[in-house]
């Protein structure tokens, strides 16, 4: 049976790669997509998301507009990475579709309460690939939705490295309070969480040559869009390969054995002169005497992805977006 999923996105070149995979893989049932400001302002995110789903022939999927800005921080987008329109400035025909009239948080509530009522195989895997603003608002406003969740697999944070700053990963850095609220709420509500962070994010690569083959398929379909997204990312970084980025977190739902994970206590740094927005991943062995540590153990223990079968994930993405998955 296909795994029910909901993606929360800030589309975003690599969010677009993730949407194509989730929209096209028969092992997933994409129940809704919710949008949040992050890589680009939320209205651009909504348009980009609808455009990707149209290219994938999935205009049946509900798309909802969510938070415009982080809980506390001023929004600082990443259009210097993702292009002025947030999705590679591909000059691709924009969707004429409108988003759902409900706010993203209301759509998430409705989808998850519906799943809770049905239970069993209907429980939803929520895959946030963006700042966690919508998810923090959801879990604090409607904690009952936990009953409809199988797990949360989010792209964000890292054990060792940063990208937005030397210390912090973009999604968590953009809205650190939201990330802290989500970890806290998940600990309270007993929601299983997997962190697909920068320790694995850059590893699944697609070559420029393979992207060119996808582009050559033409017709403004999913393969061409996939190829053009990867080509943009190669050009942007002057490289012959590009990561599938957020799409790797969707691969982690489809093929969970493709990542090596450890259950570790994690906190979000909310102060810090140079480290605000860093995920503090505690890799100490807690069998020793740590009574001297004034902070104690973080209340949130989650699965942290520390290794990856990158070739497998890149192949899974390529096979799916080029229509070779059955
Ligand atoms: C994350 O930040 C965004 O720019 C990407 O879409 C990804 O979700 C990587 O740090
Ligand atoms: Ca993203």
Q: How many Å lie between the centroid of ligand 1 and the Cα of residue 250?
A: 14
Kindly give the residue spans of alpha helices, DSSP state H, lying in 56-195.
Answer: 79-82, 104-118, 133-141, 170-174, 176-189
Q: Name the residue with the closest Cα to ligand 1, atom 10.
A: 170
CB 127 within 8 A of CB 10: no
d(CA 125, CA 142): 17
CB 240 within 8 A of CB 152: no
Phi and psi at 8, nearest 5°, equal -115, 120
Q: Which ligand lies nearest the alpha carbon of 173?
A: 1
Pocket of ligand 1 (CB under 6 A): 12, 14-15, 39, 78, 81, 129-130, 155, 163, 169-171, 245-246
Q: Which ligand 1 atom is the nearest neighbour of the CA of 130? A: 8
Contacts of 110 (CB under 8 A, 6+ apart): 102
pLDDT in tens, the chain (326 residues): 999 999 999 999 999 999 999 999 999 999 999 999 999 999 999 999 999 999 999 999 999 999 999 999 999 999 998 999 999 999 999 999 999 999 999 999 999 999 999 999 999 999 999 999 999 999 999 999 999 999 999 999 999 999 999 999 999 999 999 999 999 999 999 999 999 999 999 999 999 999 999 999 999 999 999 999 999 999 999 999 999 999 999 999 999 999 999 999 999 999 989 999 999 999 998 888 888 999 989 999 999 999 999 999 999 999 999 998 75
d(CA 17, CA 229): 7
Residues of the chain by 3-state class (helix, strand, coil), percent to 5: 40, 20, 40
CB 153 within 8 A of CB 252: yes
Return the structure tokens found at 186. Answer: 């998940």
Q: What is the dihedral of CA 217, 219, 224, 229, to 10 degrees?
A: 150
Contacts of 101 (CB under 8 A, 6+ apart): none
Which chain residues have CB less than 5 Å from ligand 2, an ion? Answer: 10, 12, 15, 129-130, 246
d(CA 45, CA 307): 30
DSSP assignment of 173-233, as one string? HH-HHHHHHHHHHHHHHT--EEEE-HHHHT-SEEEHHHHHHHHHT-TTSHHHHHHHHHHHH
- Looking up tokens 């809980």 gives 71
CB 104 within 8 A of CB 34: yes
Question: What integer pLDDT is reported at residue 310 of this predicted model?
Answer: 98
Q: Name the residue with the closest Cα to ligand 1, atom 4.
A: 39
d(CA 208, CA 223): 14
Q: Which ligand 1 atom is the nearest neighbour of the CA of 169? A: 10
Kind of pairing, strands 259-268 and 301-308?
Answer: antiparallel
Of the candidates 101, 313, 282, the one whose C-alpha atom is nearest the C-alpha of residue 206 is 313
Question: What integer pLDDT is reported at residue 326 of this predicted model?
Answer: 58
Question: What integer pLDDT is reported at residue 325 of this predicted model?
Answer: 76
d(CA 159, CA 197): 8
Return the structure tokens found at 270. Answer: 């909310």
Q: Name the residue with the closest Cα to ligand 1, atom 2.
A: 170
Domain ranges of the chain: 3-321
Q: What is the CATH number of domain 3-321?
A: 3.90.245.10
């Amino acid at each position: 049976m296909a795994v029910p999923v909901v993606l929360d996105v800030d589309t975003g070149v690599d969010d677009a790669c993730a949407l194509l995979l989730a929209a096209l893989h028969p092992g997933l049932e994409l129940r809704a997509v919710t949008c949040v400001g992050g890589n680009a302002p939320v209205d651009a995110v909504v348009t980009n998301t609808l455009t990707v789903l149209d290219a994938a022939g999935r205009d049946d999927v509900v798309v909802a507009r969510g938070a415009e800005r982080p809980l506390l921080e001023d929004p600082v987008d990443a259009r210097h990475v993702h292009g002025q329109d947030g999705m590679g400035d591909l000059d691709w025909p924009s969707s004429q579709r409108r988003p759902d009239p409900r706010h993203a948080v209301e759509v998430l509530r409705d989808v998850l309460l519906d799943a809770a009522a049905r239970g069993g195989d209907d429980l939803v895997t929520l895959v946030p690939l963006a700042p966690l603003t919508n998810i923090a608002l959801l879990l604090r406003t409607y904690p009952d939705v936990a009953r409809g969740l199988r797990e949360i697999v989010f792209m964000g944070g890292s054990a060792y490295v940063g990208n937005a700053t030397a210390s912090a990963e973009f999604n968590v850095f953009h809205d650190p309070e939201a990330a802290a609220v989500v970890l806290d709420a998940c600990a309270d509500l007993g929601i299983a969480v997997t962190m697909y962070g920068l320790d694995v994010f850059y590893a699944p690569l697609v070559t420029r040559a393979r992207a060119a083959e996808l582009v050559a398929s033409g017709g403004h379909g999913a393969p061409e869009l996939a190829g053009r997204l990867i080509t943009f990312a190669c050009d942007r970084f002057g490289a012959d390969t590009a990561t599938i980025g957020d799409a790797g977190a969707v691969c982690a739902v489809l093929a969970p054995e493709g990542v090596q994970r450890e259950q570790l206590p994690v906190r979000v740094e909310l102060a810090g002169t140079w480290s605000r927005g860093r995920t503090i991943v505690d890799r100490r062995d807690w069998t020793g005497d740590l009574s001297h540590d004034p902070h104690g153990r973080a209340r949130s223990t989650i699965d942290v992805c520390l290794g990856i079968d990158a070739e497998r994930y890149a192949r899974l993405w390529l096979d799916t977006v080029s229509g070779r998955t059955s």
